[in-house]
């Protein structure tokens, strides 16, 4: 599908859906829980609903595998895949004594420093739902975020708790992809710009414009902006390879 046709199709889909819907996003717990003191017990369960990312409005456009048909990564084309995979598995094994929270922190730090994330990301990019990562590029940050997704899945976090999120950074005047993990009804952000993991509500300078996981591709926008979805769609298109 030609890129211009794809973006027109997405825009028409949103207009046909309409935006006058009731916001059913679940409320977050009243008390905040910094990641360093978080006790994670729900990682293996499927959440009924996911809280809004960065307090944004969200509109799901559908299954990403259907929205973005295209070429997926072929592992046979990637050099050093076995070496990178074995090294990655060794790191995950070495993090096991630190508990789930320690493993997640260690994964975030390790992959932020790794030069092998494009190769590692290819381990999972054989699946059709990952096509948006091959279309909407952000200076390689999509590889880092997806490598973190694969790692958290490997240590037992349910896929339904993970979202790859395209964000705009107002402080740096830049864009990148991060991983959001939802525990205890709150979203925690694994960012390639910092080793610490923070709750999304504390990162006021970050604004999401789209997200995806294996089930849904969504647009996000500031609820105060009546045409925010159009802004997000244009923003998305400006960072695509087409």
Residue at 19 is within a domain = no
Which pLDDT tens digit goes with each residue over 176-209? 999 999 999 999 999 999 999 999 999 999 999 9
In terms of Cα–Cα distance, which of 241, 238, 218, 235 is closest to 56? 218
Residue at 23 is within a domain = no
Residue at 18 is within a domain = no
Residue at 35 is within a domain = no
Residue at 27 is within a domain = no
Which pLDDT tens digit goes with each residue over 117-150? 999 998 887 788 998 888 887 878 999 999 999 9
CA distance 31 to 26: 15
Mean pLDDT calculated for residue range 29-55 = 88
Joined together, the tokens standing for residue 197 give: 């993991």
* Host domain of residue 105: 42-238
Residue at 132 is within a domain = yes
Q: DSSP state, 19? A: S
Q: DSSP state, 73? A: P
Here the CATH number for the domain that contains residue 89 is 3.10.620.30
Report how many domains make up the chain: 1
**Under a CB-based contact definition with an 8 Å cutoff, are residues 185 and 51 in contact?**
yes
Residue at 206 is within a domain = yes
pLDDT at residue 22 is higher than 50: no
């Amino acid at each position: 599908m030609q890129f211009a046709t794809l973006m027109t199709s997405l825009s028409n889909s949103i207009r046909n859906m309409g935006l006058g819907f009731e916001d059913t996003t679940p409320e977050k717990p009243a008390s905040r829980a910094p990641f360093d003191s978080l006790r994670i017990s729900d990682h293996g369960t499927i959440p009924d609903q996911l809280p809004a990312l960065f307090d944004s409005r969200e509109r799901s456009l559908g299954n990403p595998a259907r929205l973005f048909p295209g070429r997926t990564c072929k592992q046979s084309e990637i050099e050093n895949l076995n070496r990178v995979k074995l090294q990655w598995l060794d790191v995950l094994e070495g993090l096991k004594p630190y508990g789930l929270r320690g493993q997640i922190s260690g994964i975030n730090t390790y992959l932020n420093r790794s030069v092998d994330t494009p190769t590692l990301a290819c381990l999972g990019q054989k699946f059709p739902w990952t096509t948006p990562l091959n279309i909407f590029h952000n200076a390689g940050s999509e590889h880092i975020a997806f490598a973190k997704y694969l790692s958290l899945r490997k240590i037992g976090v349910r896929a339904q708790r993970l979202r790859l999120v395209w964000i705009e950074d107002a402080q740096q005047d830049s864009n990148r992809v991060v991983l959001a993990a939802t525990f205890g009804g709150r979203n925690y952000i694994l960012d390639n710009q910092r080793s610490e993991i923070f709750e999304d509500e504390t990162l006021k300078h970050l604004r999401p414009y789209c997200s995806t996981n294996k089930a849904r591709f969504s647009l996000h926008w500031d609820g105060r902006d009546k045409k925010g979805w159009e802004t997000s769609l244009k923003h998305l298109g400006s960072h695509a390879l087409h």
